[in-house]
Amino acid sequence: MRVLLVEDDDGVADALVEALGANGHEPKRVARGADALTAHRDFDLLLLDLGLPDTDGLEVLRKIRRMADVPIVVLTARGDERTIVRGLRLGADDYLVKPVRLAELLARMDAVARRSAAHGAPADRVVRCGDVEIDLDARRVLVAGAEVALTTKEFEVLAVLASRPGTAVSRQQLMDEVWGDAYLAVSRTLDVHLTQLRAKLDRPGVLTTIRGFGYRLSTDA
């Protein structure tokens, strides 16, 4: 895909442009936030560094989001959760903390592009995983035809995963979408909800743990 890399560090930018090109993408690099604001229209995906010389990357993100829904993956040296949460809230589709591992970057870019393509089509609001049926509009879950009683939060956790089946969703994303600001306090709570969900669904293959990252709903379970 056509990738716009917004990165002021020449070393990082050169390495990424070369690696993306070698992996079948068409990368173009700009070094300033102002350039990103004018150039973004011609690209399928943006890789956006947050520490830019002329303006804060989060500000660039906010401005582009007002104009376009092009997929944006944030690259940040800041691993702190507040910055990441702000980035996701402002409309970043995903983020990676630098130094970026190439294989992971390519995988995340593909996942984000897939998700964004799926958003363009009318969404299938009933997700089926074997005999588990998740109706996102009716907020109902059937297992082997029988309705399973879920709490509001359990359903919301499941719904976030079911809205992008087959895609790994990070713990941060899950907590941010279900709990918003309060999420710093709920890491353990998420574990409890997932344990409960697994017990209630009683289908071990449906909810997969991605070690050190998050979770995925498997539709081919």
Interactions with Ca ion, residue window 97-136 (CB under 5 A): none
Give the shortest CB-49-to-Ca ion separation in angstroms.
Answer: 4
Interactions with Ca ion, residue window 42-61 (CB under 5 A): 49, 51
* Residue nearer to Ca ion on the CB measure, 56 or 124: 56
Write out 148-201 in H/E/C secondary structure: CCCCHHHHHHHHHHHCCCCCCEEHHHHHHHHHHHHHHHCHHHHHHHHHHHHHHH
* Residue nearer to Ca ion on the CB measure, 8 or 156: 8
Q: Does 8 bind Ca ion (CB under 5 A)?
A: yes
- C-alpha to C-alpha distance for 60 and 20, rounded to whole angstroms: 22
How many Cα atoms sit within 13 Å of 165 on the Cβ side?
Answer: 19
* Residue nearer to Ca ion on the CB measure, 53 or 204: 53
Q: Which residue's Cβ has the minimum distance to Ca ion? A: 51
Give the shortest CB-93-to-Ca ion separation in angstroms.
Answer: 20
With contact defined as beta carbons under 8 Å apart, do 68 and 40 qualify?
yes
Instruction: Kindly indicate which of the ranges 7-15, 38-46, 145-153, 187-195 contains the residues binding Ca ion, using the contact rule CB under 5 A.
Output: 7-15
Interactions with Ca ion, residue window 155-214 (CB under 5 A): none
- C-alpha to C-alpha distance for 19 and 5, rounded to whole angstroms: 12
* Residue nearer to Ca ion on the CB measure, 95 or 155: 95
Alpha carbon separation from 200 to 106, 125, 147, 216 (Å, rounded): 35, 21, 10, 17
* Residue nearer to Ca ion on the CB measure, 42 or 56: 56
Where along the sequence are the contacts to Ca ion (CB under 5 A)? 8, 49, 51
